[in-house]
Amino acid sequence: MEKHKDSIVGDDCFFCIGTTRKDTPDKNEYRRIEYNIPINVARIAKSNAVGSFVYISSMGANLNSSNSYLKNKAQVEKELNKLNFPKLAVIRPSLLLGKRKKHRLGESIAQYAMKKLSPFFLGNLKKYKPIQAQYVAKAMVAIAQNNYQKTIFESNQLEEIGKKYKL
């Protein structure tokens, strides 16, 4: 990471790097990608006076989760909070909808099922509704550029912001 220190500069840092267990079966390498890299990039960004750090986490991130993916995301969130950025935005999308370079059968099935169930995600269940990746991207930019008085953004909030925001 140190060799990239001079490249992590600017007003905003958008952190969207991640992997899957299938693509990275080695537990140490998975942890390096999903935990160490975001923390190290954030530390460098902070030392370079980057004003806002926008991190893609996951719906359901929880330090007490039995799911290692969700627990790991929550651990990263906790560490990012300790860095005291002027603005930290934790993005927690639900299932992402949109075209991918790689076809994943399980995700395709989940996307189909979740789209059919979407009308039933009302009230407190709204945050579980799948979201178009373009709305997440637009929301991230809007959040970085505007003064939202919060840190964690759930999927339904991202969709609302993303639909309004014009690039």
Tell me what pLDDT residue 107 has.
66
Strand arrangement, sheet containing 52-56: 12-15, 52-56, 87-92, 152-154
**Which CATH number is 64's domain given?**
3.40.50.720
Asked, for residue 150, whether it belongs to a domain, the answer is no
Residue-wise pLDDT tens digits, 73-121: 999 999 999 999 999 999 999 988 877 677 666 666 766 666 776 776 7
Domains in the chain: how many in total? Answer: 2
Residues 28 and 54 in one domain: yes
**Residue 131 and residue 115: Cα distance in Å, rounded?**
9
- Please give the average per-residue pLDDT across 131-157, as a whole number: 93
38, 77: one domain: yes
Has residue 51 got a pLDDT over 90? Answer: yes
Q: Which residues pair with 46 in a beta bridge?
A: none
Please tell me whether residues 67 and 126 are part of one structural domain. Answer: no
Q: Which element (helix H / strand E) includes 14?
A: strand 12-15
| Confidence at 122, pLDDT banded by 50, 70, 90 | confident
Question: Given this model, what pLDDT does residue 100 score?
Answer: 67
74 and 43 assigned to the same domain: yes
Say if 35 falls within a structural domain.
yes
Percent of the chain with pLDDT over 90: 65
> What domain range includes position 8?
1-92
- pTM value? 0.88
**75 and 119 belong to one structural domain:** no
The answer to whether the beta carbons of residues 5 and 50 sit under 8 Å apart is: no
Least-confidence region, from 29-33, 54-58, 121-125, 154-158? 121-125
- Tokens standing for 105? 């059968």
| Run of H or E including 31 | helix 27-31
Question: Per the domain annotation, does 34 fall within a domain?
Answer: yes
Mean pLDDT across the stretch 22-46?
94
For residue 50, how far is the Cα from the chain centroid? 18
The residues, any chain, with a CB within 8 Å of residue 17's CB and separated by 6 or more, are 33, 37, 38, 41
In the structure encoding, which two tokens stand for residue 7, read together?
A: 């490249």
- What number of other Cβ atoms are within 10 A of residue 31's Cβ? 15
- With the CA atoms of 51, 57, 62 and 63 taken in that order, what torsion angle do they form, in degrees rounded to the nearest 10? -60
Q: Name the residue among 24, 146, 40, 159 with its Cα closest to residue 98.
A: 159
Position 100 in a domain: yes
